[in-house]
Structure 1
Amino acid sequence: MNQRSRLNLLVIQIFIASLMFALFGRLFYLQVAAGPKYRDAALSIQSRDVVTPANRGFIVDSSGVPMALNKVGLAVTVDRTKIDKLPDKGVAVVQDLVNLLGLNFDDVWQRTRLCGELPKGKKAGCWTGSRFQPIPITKTADPQLALRIVERSDRYPGISATPLAIRSYPTTLGLNGGHVLGYVGPLTEADLAGANGRSYFRSESIGKAGLETVYDEYLRGVPGIKTFIVDRKEAVTTTSKNTKPTAGNHLVTSLDIRLQAAAEAALAGAVKRARGSGFRADGGAAVVLDVRNGQVLALASYPTFDPNAFEKGLSVQEANDLYSESNGVPALNRALQGLYAPASTFKSVSIIAAKDAGYDLNASYACPSEVQVGTRAFQNFESKAQGTLSMKKALAVSCDTIWYRIAYDEWLRDGGLKPKSNPNDYFFKAAAKFKVGEKTGVDLPSESAGRLADREWRKDWYSQNKDFYCNYKTRATKAQQTPFLLQLARENCIDGDKIRAGDAVNFSIGQGDTVVTPIKLAQMYAAIANGGTIWKPTIAKAIVKTDGTVLRTFKPEKLGDLGVDQETLVFLRDALREVTISGTAAGAFSGFPVATAGKTGTAQVFGRNANGSAKADTSWYASFAPAKNPRYAVVMMVSQGGYGSGTSGVGVRQIYETIFGAQGSTVKPELALFPAGKPPTKLPRISPATKPKPSILNPGKPKAVASATPAAKVKVKAKR
């Protein structure tokens, strides 16, 4: 063998050795280094998970009274692994079952179909879990019917009845709490795809609204998992994993169940009172804040919905009704999603603007019946002249024309339609101090930001709408082409990017394009009451484990300071007190034994209802109490509710009656919600059967709150 042959042989040997080395290396990687990964992959093909949801944590008020808990329900379930083996795939059994339970066959059949079995677009109500997991078709079965099903297993093969925990929202003292508590529901495809950044098991229920969704990661707990190994025929061969569920943690809130119920009742009463006076009153909201730290003590929206209905399952009609305008859109949380012109409640901001502009708050000003602004006469409320008034009295009787003159004069000084390069904009800047146009940051979903209609907003609005107004005759409907709207379109086309005189004077009295939410107005009045601090409204106080260990606390968060001198704030508080003594709210608060301060608002609304009628005024009342040492800010709004005092003012008085234990012109300390004069700051010990103390709504012996599921074994005693 020559040298060349030996070299070729050596190369071949090296090549073969390299291949063998690579082969053995790959084999080592697959069987040793990456063995667990591929074993899991192989196992997943043969495994089926059955999920046992964890008991959801309670949501309790500041004294430990449950507002959302779990109760034992009786579920009738279908086992697909059994009924699928029947000749007709279980059709006859399910038909017999629904006849017994009084259910609709099509609905039940849909609920027992796996989502993967159904074509796209027809998956509504399908089962998101596993075939190997019992599928509930009702969670509130009659025990007698359930017993009949269990006893006749030959007639109902694959059908069983089992107790399970279902979410429950007690109606203690008439409490609803739908908009603040929210509700739970099954997972959607978006949830399973990780749209909110979390991972779930298919058969879980999660928070869908309110506190239930914001704090879902704490409340949900950890589900138990049982993994079955199956063969090619889907027959179970063994169980490879079995973990027990871990109950969720409890959420302690700043809400008080008695005050929440009182706010809901007062709001519903205000709506009914407005309707009785001939107003449409299509909805409303009420908010109660602790002015010292921004904690939300009550939050109500009307109309509302029953959060328990989602656990039972909504019909298509019930789901549509939640968003129906004819029903008032019950799904809308008006307290933090509704946007309304603040009307005269905004004059508190104008007081600060006037002081910044150099006006003497202790001087007197003329309050004529109207003020000429350009070519238009702006009238006082009901066109009444009030003579010459002090600024304090002007706020008390809600004179408009004083503000028309001041706002118009300042608009002219800023250059009018040809503004200076750096206008003073005292009114806009005063509103910005209150963070108007920004969200409050409350720990509830879908809050609206509101709108501060200043120069920057006006330019943005114009860029978006210029084309429409400049081509109004071809773009608008015939019904929209009235003489007034045509003239308005012309003006908006020519100088819609500028703050006009009418915009300036309307802004000063809370009309025009500036809108706020009720919770924003409550935040603003809380800042006036506490000396200028703007607090972030918060509901959560703490997350507590089932063994009582505090997992997390939520501290009050300061968002800023008004930057207003204390002399101005003292003047403003005194003027707001005068409103209830000799001003527009004197009738609503006549004889009330606790000194309160507040401001009425009656906002004009442009447009028409679906039936063609003109929209009625928005009723507002914003307040704080006690007047000298404020603890609470209370705001009520009734959309299309008419006058501020007679509708919302009376409703706010009723809320204060509950807070202070007032009856008529006297205070009964034993009925006051907070005997120490302020809401509790210590965390309660959570109990399934904590009972609310007596109050005006509940003067006698309180009834026990519905007990929780056996899994929650925390013994607690409420502290107020």
Structure 2
Amino acid sequence: MSNIPETGRTPRVTIRLIILQMIVLSLLFTLGGRLWYLQIRNGDEYTEQAASNNVQEVVQPAVRGSILDDKGVALADNETRLVVSASRTDLLKMKDDGKAVLTRLAGVLGMKPEDVRNKVRLCDSQTPKPCWNGSPYQPIPITDEATTQQALQIMERREDFPGITAEPTAVRRYPSPSGATAAQVLGYLSPVTDGEITASEKTGQTLQRSDQIGRSGLEKTYDSALRGKAGVTRYQVDNLGRVIGKAGETKAQAGSNLVTSIDSKVQAVAEKELNQAIKDARKTWDKVTNSYYKADSGAVVVMDVHTGQVIAMASAPTYDNNAWVGGISAKDYARLTSKKSNYPLLNRAIQGQSAPGSTFKPISTSAAVNAGYSIDGRYACPSSMTIGGRVFKNFEGESAGSITLEHALEISCDTVFYGLSYDQWLKDGGTKPKKKTADWFYKTAKQFGLGSTTGIDLPGEVTGRIPDRQWKRAYYEANKIYWCKVAKSDKHDYASEIARENCTDGYVMRAGDSVNYAIGQGDTLVTPIQMARVYSAIANGGTLYQPTIGKAIVSADGKTVTKIKPKVTGKAPDSQKTLKYINQALAGVVTSGTAAWRFGGWPQDKITLHAKTGTAEVAGKQTTSWFTTYTKDYAVIMTISQGGTGSGGSGPAVRKIYEAMYGVQKDGSIDNKKALLPKPVTKLPKINGDGTVTAASTAQKAQKASFDLPSVPSQGGGTVALAALTPERSEKYLLGRRYW
């Protein structure tokens, strides 16, 4: 037995007990604090959240407003279809992530299981189309072309299709009245993303996960007005998910209708003639390249010269907007975004840039007059000029002696404008410019609005380019490192020699830059919509309008009509004498100038037509065809990339557009009964008391359509005839099937 005393262990045991007590007390205090925080501090918040767990929200998408032409004909509206959707959230709760359910669904819909599964996968940078780029919590549409029998199979076999719904839904439709697709003008829709929902909450215009929003064209520009506001119905449910009452309801508000200045019949003609002009160009032999013209793309714009409103706008290649409805297929998406199809989503009327060629010469004429050159003077038109050691020729090598500016415009004499621009370049100091250069030729173009966007109510418009001294300096700063690197190489080809020259003084405005610019060549870039505005200003006496397509926004009930008035954005830098002079010259282009061979028999005494042809040369490509025209009411501008000469490639198509609008017959007579639009439409179509537009009655019927479905059992016994169900009543029926 040990004689060691026990008192040495007592303090250690006591300390351990104290520490243990402190830990227990700390845990109790922590639990107590947390309990206070949950029940007292945030009690109301958690009570509200708990209550919300017993509430299910059903979103009723708003019917999107229609886009109408100038007479009220629907260019974009809605039709009611049976849409089969899948809840990704519900599918992921299943052991196999819903694979079996989707496979059964594919069998009912007559689709491949793989295609159905691809529809519900989320899009990212590595996932090919088709995929879902909307919210993962939103029902994902599998098809909007389900038959009534397919829908009934899904509804009656709920146990086989958990997470799958089949509901009548208003779906966007692009009906192409008279054959007018107006694809790039109208644009398309796609589901809202989580980022867009978050951003909308900050602006007070909260988006719902079921919303579709405009991605391009008018659908995007006027999205907030067209979309309306989704309705939300809140149902009280028990712990088994059965509906026990209604907790509240916010009615859906239909979107407003957009009346446009587009005339569907003129639009159809413009599209047809542009397409035909491209086909004809591809059958025309190009002597320069010893091949047929490629005619890879083109655009046409028809504008009301008095308002800047666009009557028609077509771009080629084009596409069918309906391809986006219900989710675009992988095949269609690849076609619309591939280089091989030459990017049909581009609206080349506002996004296609090219050198304008001789259609730029009226601007150079204006610049010359403003610079002090006599409007009544005579100027040399030799076959060529040597400037800075380089020979600059007329397009076809012609010589016309001493001629007026008017005649120079009629026959499109390049050397007259070479001479004027070169002389002005010398006055500005040549390669050693004065501190304050006049730069009349560049200044005048900018005063006509070139080098900047027109402000048209379509997204994605580009600026074009006026290569003045400021641009020249900026371009040099951006490229001098590359130029100087090439300059040090041993290569001695043309490109290398140019790089060596640019390395040392690429910022200098040379004589060649100025003379090329004067005839619309070199680094100058314009768009068809810009040229439409320029020629409209020449036609109307000098007023530059902001081009518009939207004409009025009409609320769904028709009580509020917001007109979109024409907006003046500037004045042409010309006196009325100069404008009259240019008008006279451009009329001469049609009667005796470069376009006369295409307009024989035109009733010039009744419908005075003015025109300017343009054949723009592009390095490494065939020439671009430009044809810019106007009458007292309309400007029609057409361009075809790699399409040949101005009058040769675009002339016949432009003439046919005018013939259709004015009712001009083959013998030159005018039949007003056949004229599509002899005068611009100034009034809005008739708006009825219920908000419908008379000419759009078919669109309104489509929105209110019901299905020819058989009768099915109702909640209280008996039957419900689904043929009489509107989308709203069908939704209530489906809710009953889901919860009761």
Following superposition of structure 1 onto structure 2, how do residues 169-568 of structure 1 map, counting pairs within 5 Å? 169-194=174-199, 199-228=206-235, 239-277=246-284, 278-473=292-487, 483-568=493-578
Amino acid at match of 2:703: T
2:622 to 600, 616, 620: 616
Is the contact between residue 350 and residue 508 of structure 1 (CA under 8 Å) also seen in structure 2? yes
In 2, distance between residues paired with 1:223 and 1:363?
Answer: 67
Say if 1:311 and 1:411 are closer, same or farther in 2 by CA, change over 3 A: same
Shift, 1:486, TM fit: 1.2
Shift, 1:322, TM fit: 1.5
What TM-score do the two structures reach when normalised by structure 2? 0.82
Shift, 1:500, TM fit: 0.4
Pair 1:142 & 2:154 matched: no
In 2, distance between residues paired with 1:310 and 1:554?
Answer: 29
In 1, distance between residues paired with 2:437 and 2:59?
Answer: 64
User: Which residue number corresponds to residue 17 of structure 1?
Assistant: none
User: Which residue number corresponds to residue 24 of structure 2?
Assistant: none
Say if 1:589 and 1:142 are closer, same or farther in 2 by CA, change over 3 A: farther
Is the contact between residue 598 and residue 623 of structure 1 (CA under 8 Å) also seen in structure 2? yes
User: Which residue number corresponds to residue 583 of structure 2?
Assistant: 573
In 1, distance between residues paired with 2:555 and 2:118?
Answer: 38
In 1, distance between residues paired with 2:375 and 2:236?
Answer: 81
Is the contact between residue 689 and residue 705 of structure 1 (CA under 8 Å) also seen in structure 2? no
Say if 1:232 and 1:494 are closer, same or farther in 2 by CA, change over 3 A: farther
RMSD across aligned C-alpha pairs, in angstroms? 3.2
| Deviates most, 382-391 or 324-333 | 382-391
Post-superposition CA distance 1:256-315 (Å, at most 9, x none): 111111111111111111111121111111111111111111111111111111004222
Post-superposition CA distance 1:360-383 (Å, at most 9, x none): 222332211100101001011122
Amino acid at match of 2:541: G
In 1, distance between residues paired with 2:225 and 2:500?
Answer: 55
Secondary structure at 1:667 match in 2: coil
Shift, 1:681, TM fit: 3.0
In 1, distance between residues paired with 2:44 and 2:370?
Answer: 72
In 2, distance between residues paired with 1:586 and 1:214?
Answer: 41
In 2, distance between residues paired with 1:282 and 1:684?
Answer: 41
Say if 1:30 and 1:341 are closer, same or farther in 2 by CA, change over 3 A: farther
| Deviates most, 85-94 or 503-512 | 85-94
Is the contact between residue 70 and residue 166 of structure 1 (CA under 8 Å) also seen in structure 2? yes
Amino acid at match of 1:514: T
Pair 1:710 & 2:704 matched: yes
User: Which residue number corresponds to residue 634 of structure 1?
Assistant: 636
Secondary structure at 2:391 match in 1: strand
Amino acid at match of 2:182: G
Amino acid at match of 1:670: K
Is the contact between residue 187 and residue 206 of structure 1 (CA under 8 Å) also seen in structure 2? yes
Amino acid at match of 2:197: L
Shift, 1:49, TM fit: 3.5
Amino acid at match of 1:597: H
2:106 to 79, 88, 98: 98
In 1, distance between residues paired with 2:40 and 2:657?
Answer: 70
Say if 1:467 and 1:155 are closer, same or farther in 2 by CA, change over 3 A: closer
Shift, 1:679, TM fit: 2.1
In 1, distance between residues paired with 2:120 and 2:306?
Answer: 52
Shift, 1:461, TM fit: 1.0
Secondary structure at 1:72 match in 2: strand
Post-superposition CA distance 1:471-493 (Å, at most 9, x none): 11579xx9xx6621111112211
User: Which residue number corresponds to residue 67 of structure 1?
Assistant: 75
Say if 1:119 and 1:539 are closer, same or farther in 2 by CA, change over 3 A: closer
User: Which residue number corresponds to residue 4 of structure 1?
Assistant: none
In 2, distance between residues paired with 1:123 and 1:490?
Answer: 45
Say if 1:73 and 1:645 are closer, same or farther in 2 by CA, change over 3 A: same
Say if 1:707 and 1:599 are closer, same or farther in 2 by CA, change over 3 A: farther
Shift, 1:61, TM fit: 0.9
Secondary structure at 2:598 match in 1: coil
Secondary structure at 1:349 match in 2: helix
Is the contact between residue 58 and residue 219 of structure 1 (CA under 8 Å) also seen in structure 2? yes
Amino acid at match of 1:468: Y
Say if 1:139 and 1:410 are closer, same or farther in 2 by CA, change over 3 A: same
Say if 1:45 and 1:483 are closer, same or farther in 2 by CA, change over 3 A: farther
| Deviates most, 184-193 or 121-130 | 121-130
Say if 1:201 and 1:30 are closer, same or farther in 2 by CA, change over 3 A: farther
Is the contact between residue 135 and residue 192 of structure 2 (CA under 8 Å) also seen in structure 1? no
In 1, distance between residues paired with 2:182 and 2:81?
Answer: 22
2:608 to 595, 608, 621: 595
Shift, 1:81, TM fit: 8.2
Amino acid at match of 1:633: A
| Deviates most, 152-161 or 487-496 | 152-161
Amino acid at match of 1:680: T
Shift, 1:122, TM fit: 5.6
In 1, distance between residues paired with 2:94 and 2:338?
Answer: 43
Amino acid at match of 2:83: A
Secondary structure at 2:300 match in 1: strand
Shift, 1:323, TM fit: 2.4
Is the contact between residue 291 and residue 530 of structure 1 (CA under 8 Å) also seen in structure 2? yes
Say if 1:620 and 1:233 are closer, same or farther in 2 by CA, change over 3 A: same
In 2, distance between residues paired with 1:649 and 1:62?
Answer: 27
In 2, distance between residues paired with 1:158 and 1:201?
Answer: 19
Post-superposition CA distance 1:501-546 (Å, at most 9, x none): 0000011000011111110010111111111111000111111112
In 2, distance between residues paired with 1:460 and 1:509?
Answer: 23
Shift, 1:40, TM fit: 4.9
Kindly name which structure, 1 or 2, has the bigger radius of gyration based on alpha carbons: 2
Is the contact between residue 259 and residue 297 of structure 1 (CA under 8 Å) also seen in structure 2? yes
Percent identity (aligned): 43
| Deviates most, 81-90 or 341-350 | 81-90
In 2, distance between residues paired with 1:510 and 1:261?
Answer: 31
Secondary structure at 2:166 match in 1: strand
In 2, distance between residues paired with 1:532 and 1:462?
Answer: 35
Secondary structure at 1:300 match in 2: strand
Shift, 1:466, TM fit: 1.1
What TM-score do the two structures reach when normalised by structure 1? 0.84
Is the contact between residue 365 and residue 402 of structure 1 (CA under 8 Å) also seen in structure 2? yes
User: Which residue number corresponds to residue 3 of structure 1?
Assistant: none
Where structure 1 has 5 or more consecutive residues not aligned to the other structure, the ranges are 1-22, 608-614, 693-702, 714-720
In 2, distance between residues paired with 1:539 and 1:513?
Answer: 30
User: Which residue number corresponds to residue 699 of structure 1?
Assistant: none
User: Which residue number corresponds to residue 646 of structure 1?
Assistant: 648
Is the contact between residue 595 and residue 651 of structure 2 (CA under 8 Å) also seen in structure 1? yes
Secondary structure at 2:551 match in 1: strand
Secondary structure at 2:702 match in 1: coil
In 1, distance between residues paired with 2:551 and 2:682?
Answer: 11
In 2, distance between residues paired with 1:293 and 1:255?
Answer: 13
Secondary structure at 2:181 match in 1: coil
In 2, distance between residues paired with 1:564 and 1:555?
Answer: 25
Shift, 1:152, TM fit: 5.4
Amino acid at match of 1:656: Y
Is the contact between residue 102 and residue 117 of structure 2 (CA under 8 Å) also seen in structure 1? yes
